[in-house]
């Protein structure tokens, strides 16, 4: 019986990992990929189009406020600041007129790139609050993962102790 429970909890851990991977892929497809494309854009129009898709997806999924943290709030997990910053960048792109000089356009694109990207250890990465891909279910998914791992290990150890 203990071995069966251990297998059930192991399968639940795999299901949890699958949910996390799917959420991450969906976020990248709907938001992250478009933010990267906006940062990489060479024209204001292209940047505006891609940033607009990302912001619209955030609004449709109600990812405009809150914190992704579980135990305590830190500034890097503030969704409202991040969303407001992206929305302000979209507003800057909207204000570009046909007679805007090439220098101004380039400065806006550089500023956008600096807003969207951070320098990581392995190169540039998209600036997002940690855990945004599973928000607002951060607490539930964390508990699910932790408890499943604990119970899977506990039941495996218990089933092996009976073998001795």
Looking at the chain, how many residues does it have?
164
pLDDT given at position 4: 81
Q: Token digits for 139? A: 């607490």
State the pLDDT at residue 164. 47
The residues that bridge with 164 in the sheet, in sequence order, are none
Torsional class of 131: left (φ above 0), alpha (ψ -120 to 50), beta (otherwise)? left
What is the Cβ-side half-sphere exposure of residue 97, based on CA atoms within 13 angstroms?
2
Contact 91, 27 (CB under 8 A): no
Q: Name the residue ranges covered by the structural domains of the chain.
A: 2-161
- What per-residue confidence (pLDDT) applies to 94? 95
Contact 44, 92 (CB under 8 A): no
Q: Which of 119, 129, 117 is nearest to 40 (CA)?
A: 117
pTM summary value:
0.86
- Give 88-135 pLDDT, tens digit per residue: 999 999 999 999 999 999 999 999 999 999 988 888 999 999 999 999
N- to C-terminal Cα distance for the chain? 16
- Ranges of the chain with pLDDT below 50: 164
């Amino acid at each position: 019986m203990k071995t069966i429970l251990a297998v059930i909890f192991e399968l639940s851990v795999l299901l949890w990992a699958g949910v996390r991977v799917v959420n991450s892929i969906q976020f990248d497809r709907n938001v992250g990929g478009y933010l990267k494309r906006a940062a990489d854009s060479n024209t204001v129009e292209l940047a505006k189009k891609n940033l607009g898709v990302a912001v619209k997806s955030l609004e449709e999924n109600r990812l405009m406020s809150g914190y992704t943290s579980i135990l305590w709030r830190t500034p890097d997990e503030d969704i409202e600041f991040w969303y407001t910053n992206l929305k302000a960048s979209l507003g800057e792109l909207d204000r570009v007129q046909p007679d805007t000089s090439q220098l101004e356009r380039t400065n806006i694109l550089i500023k956008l790139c600096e807003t969207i990207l951070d320098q990581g250890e392995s190169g540039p990465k998209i600036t997002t609050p940690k855990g945004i891909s599973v928000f607002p279910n951060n607490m539930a998914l964390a508990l699910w993962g932790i408890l499943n791992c604990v119970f899977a290990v506990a039941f495996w150890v218990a089933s092996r102790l009976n073998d001795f």
